[in-house]
Amino acid sequence: MANFGLFVRFTLREGAGDAFDALMQETAAGIRAHEPGTLVYACHQVEGAPNERVFFELYADHAAFEEHERQPHTRHFLTERTKYVEKTEVDRLEPYAGKYPTGAEA
């Protein structure tokens, strides 16, 4: 399978949740409108942890991820998030089994 994914955990600064979430809403709109190679870009609040956000990202392939990184809305998010984020943890994922939105099996 050629898919490429990320699991990202953001720990937000105290009181930054609403501003971060607004920034993410803007960014998600750009992703939906301009990134056909971004198959899943799912942002989650963590139950019981108001300063935590978890993202699951799935791209058609590594080239689609690189295209995502070049987009103006992504560049804006990466610059602006520093105002709101205390810590970022990123895991690069290589899918090997499961059900994916492309209908392909790993």
State pLDDT tens for residues 6-18.
Answer: 999 999 999 999 9
Which two tokens mark 36?
């056909």
pLDDT of residue 40: 95
pTM of the full structure: 0.89
Q: What is the mean pLDDT of residues 21-26?
A: 98
Q: 72-80 and 62-70 are packed helices; what angle lies between their axes, rounded to 10 degrees?
A: 70
Return the bridge partners of 99, or none: 105
Q: How confident is the model at residue 104 (pLDDT cuts 50, 70, 90)?
A: low
pLDDT of residue 103: 52
More confident residue, 97 or 35: 35
Return the bridge partners of 4, or none: 59
Query: Which three-class secondary structure state does DSSP give residue 106?
Result: coil
Sheet holding 49-59, edge to edge: 38-46, 49-59, 4-12, 85-93
Q: What is the mean pLDDT of residues 30-52?
A: 96
